[in-house]
Structure 1
């Protein structure tokens, strides 16, 4: 027996005459804004994740990442850096690696959150197996968040301690 599952392309809410891109989540001014279309493409999210759920996950990810980087941000601002793009860092592809790392942290945290929410969609035996398979995806996304944040702050990616 075969099955067919169709997922619709996500739709964005229509705004009457608003020139602002509704797919952009504005940040605090020091950290960059987040483009949800870029997040969706980078994390290979299909239409299963609605615009509203993606926006909620993105806002939560931004808030969590900003909170974790709060002390580091304060130190950078005290050193005279007006925003993340002015923090000294190498540039790859015409962009500061710090911007890429910040996006990586936010994108992966939003992806992990959405994956956790959707893994219990199907309660059949095959659905249970799929939920177990998604556990690795969630763990890898959270690991990528940790690595991106540590790389931004210049910390080692792992801590090894002998007991």
Structure 2
């Protein structure tokens, strides 16, 4: 028996794009795969479903912020150009980061449940961020967009 595990490459013949509401950008599956290191063991259809769920969640969290921006005449996150990073709005970068991390967290939550022998889990853990870390990163990006602190504290 061998410890060799073949990593499957994504077999997407075209760059599938998920359309979004007009204020936020469309999301390309290939870009999510590249940024989050999601290999071909996750089918395009499963990744697409996770991205759609992530878009819905992030858009819901940003509803009030979006409505305020639109009331000020901003039609798209791309128009928020007071802080550009790599030639694009910081809000665009943060939005994509939130969606990408949330989608990857959903995938990680689902895929660890399939073949999670003790040996498999030990091999996966150092290579992948945990779903909890990814959800945290998504929440941080959302809070950065909203201009809120990343910390939540309670007095006991």
| TM-score with structure 2 setting the length | 0.89
Residue 127 of structure 1 aligns to a residue whose secondary structure is helix
Equivalent in the alignment of 2:109: 116
Structure 1 residue 161, shift from structure 2 partner: 2.7
Contact 1:25–1:33 (8 Å) recurs in 2: yes
Aligned match for 1:77, one of 70, 76, 96:
70
* Separation in 1, partners of 2:122, 2:7: 21
Equivalent in the alignment of 1:64: 57
Question: Number of paired residues?
Answer: 156
Return closer, same or farther for 1:29/1:53 CA change in 2, 3 Å cut-off: same
Unmatched segments (≥5 aa) in structure 2:
none
* Separation in 1, partners of 2:144, 2:24: 16
Computed over aligned residues only, the root mean square deviation of the Cα atoms, in angstroms, reads 2.2
Aligned match for 2:93, one of 82, 96, 100:
100
Equivalent in the alignment of 1:18: none
Return closer, same or farther for 1:136/1:50 CA change in 2, 3 Å cut-off: closer
| TM-score with structure 1 setting the length | 0.86
Equivalent in the alignment of 1:11: 11
